[in-house]
Amino acid sequence: MKNTRIVFMGTPEFSVPALKTLAKEPGFDVLLAVTQPDRPKGRGKKLSPSAVKQAARDLGIDVYQPEKINTPEGIDRLSGLEPDYFVVVAFGQILSRQVLDIPKTYPINIHASLLPKYRGAAPIQAAVLNMDEQTGVSTMVMAEKMDAGDILLMETTPVKTEDTASTLHDRLSQMGADLIIKTIHGIEQKKIIPVPQDHSKASYVSMLKKSDGRINWHSSAKAICAHINAMTPWPGAFTELCGKRLKIFKAVVSSTPMQTSSPPGTVVRSSDKGLFVAAGDDGVVQVLELMGNSGKRLDVAAFLCGNKIDLPACFQ
């Protein structure tokens, strides 16, 4: 029996577990890893390879880095491999119809939401921000319209109160890796039939901007904590005190009984157990980890050693 021939397309760290899992699966042959060109990173703007390129090199898989995949050169390169499947995970380029038609079976995408909910660029952050009870990953047959293809398989996971975009990212990344194996085996065994999405229920989430990290202290205490979790690690939740920006990495809704009629954003108590900040619903947010001018992520006790906060103080 011949091996299943796969072309993998992906770029960031989220894509790597799927690539590694496919490469190790008996009977699968990952012919090529297609990823974005090296990009400048850091203060020195040194060209750096994508996470997928690094992983592919470690696995001994050929790498292709086109600036645009939908060119005659790209189409010839992919067609010549005669793949059975494309597996696409956060690649970062839109595939044309001509490219999507290349695989003998399907071009398959792994998406980090329960489609048709949260199509687009930031589904993980959206699930945390909106305090969803659960989210998951979907595999689908790729269509020309973004994240609109027929569903193959889905798997769910609860969104925990303490989940950040970072922890959920890692969990969904591995879930996607496991799900693509189940998906391809299910297709090969003729156990999976693609199911069209209900497009009337589709929702979209756009790419985050740095400005999305600003905390709105007029929100409820639960919503503020969810926002901080959703913005961690990027773009980072931030606020300002006396004209200086502070990044907040960890906060919880205070369980300490505290009556306050202070305006939202007011620091009503400061101790080594946290900065207690009034929220818009009369609740209180207990800030546990933050970063000031030092550029170091600190717990509140360490932060207060070098940063005195005179009460009453108010975050903006």
Distance CA 148, CA 178 (A): 22
Residue carrying the six token digits 């470690």? 58
> Cβ of 222: how many Cβ atoms within 10 Å?
16
> Cβ of 138: how many Cβ atoms within 10 Å?
26
DSSP letter string, 78-145: HHTT--SEEEEES--SPPPHHHHT-SSSEEEEEESSSTTTTEES-HHHHHHHTT-SEEEEEEEE--SS
Kindly state the tokens that stand for 282.
């009369």
User: Minimal CA–CA distance to 37: which of 76, 64, 15?
Assistant: 64
Omega within 30 of 0 (cis) for the link into 257: no
Q: How far is CA 64 from the centre of its chain?
A: 24
Omega within 30 of 0 (cis) for the link into 235: yes
Instruction: Determine if residue 116 is labeled as part of a ligand binding site.
Output: yes
Task: List, in sequence order, every residue forming a beta bridge with 30; answer none if it has no partner.
Answer: 6
Instruction: Determine if residue 115 is labeled as part of a ligand binding site.
Output: yes
Q: What single-letter DSSP state applies at residue 276? A: E
Instruction: Determine if residue 288 is labeled as part of a ligand binding site.
Output: no
Distance CA 25, CA 17 (A): 12
3-class secondary structure, 221: helix
- State the binding site for (6S)-5,6,7,8-tetrahydrofolate: 113-116
Where is the binding site, in residues? 113-116
